[in-house]
Amino acid sequence: NAGVTQTPKFRILKIGQSMTLQCTQDMNHNYMYWYRQDPGMGLKLIYYSVGAGITDKGEVPNGYNVSRSTTEDFPLRLELAAPSQTSVYFCASSLNDRTDYEQYFGPGTRLTVT
Amino acid sequence: RKEVEQDPGPFNVPEGATVAFNCTYSNSASQSFFWYRQDCRKEPKLLMSVYSSGNEDGRFTAQLNRASQYISLLIRDSKLSDSATYLCVVNRLPDSSYKLIFGSGTRLLVRP
């Protein structure tokens, strides 16, 4: 049971390049999330999904896109990378029944845009 | 005012000490409260949920004060392995129960 996995672990992009951050969970969770964490700051929600085929914007969605074609996968797409997108990106998933809201996080992707 | 505020620290304490962190939240409608732990350059992991009646898990005790809108975490008999950043987390009601707001964290350093 791997939990939440993310690839790549590290990436350096040039301004204007695009890339996709991969996220997969094997816990059969319906809810999945993408966060970014800047140094000394709390996690900010980029996008989330409540099930396959359903996605919605979080607090900071500009410059990103997501898709959710399966329960397991929730890739995050960066189009036209900018230095402001330099951050650590965490994917998370949760069960979200009436009593269990714990979010399980992947190990993160450290992205630098230069 | 930030939605969730924490003292960034660092709190530098000797092994065996008792240390307490507080966190304040702005949304009185919030109903779910958590403490997450984040080790350096690692992902956050749930430490404990915070219930209205307070709860204890070994050396860790969490309390909720709804009237004053703050949450506390008490760590007794600190271990070197407790060194980490502790994130206060609150759900974003009435928006949704599953959207969480993360504080910036309080850093704890436990020295020998």
Instruction: State residue A33's pLDDT score.
Output: 96
Q: Which residues of A touch B105 (CB under 8 A)?
A: 42
Q: Peptide bond before A8: cis, by omega within 30 degrees of 0?
A: yes
Residue A99, pLDDT above cutoff 70: no
Residue B73, pLDDT above cutoff 90: yes
A42 contact B CB<8A: yes
Query: Is A101 in Cβ contact with B97 (below 8 Å)?
Result: yes
Residue B96, pLDDT above cutoff 80: no
Instruction: State residue A98's pLDDT score.
Output: 63
Q: Which of A38, A4, A48 is nearest to A22 (CA)?
A: A4
Considering only residues B109 and B31, tell me which one the structure prediction assigns the higher pLDDT: B109
Alpha-carbon distance A15 to nearest alpha carbon in chain B (angstroms): 24
> Is A1 buried (19+), middle (13-18) or exposed (0-12) by CB count in 10 A?
exposed
Instruction: State residue A95's pLDDT score.
Output: 87
Q: Residue B98 — very low, low, confident or very high, per pLDDT cuts 50/70/90?
A: confident
Query: Is B97 in Cβ contact with A58 (below 8 Å)?
Result: no
A75 contact B CB<8A: no
Q: Where are the alpha helices (DSSP H) in chain A?
A: none
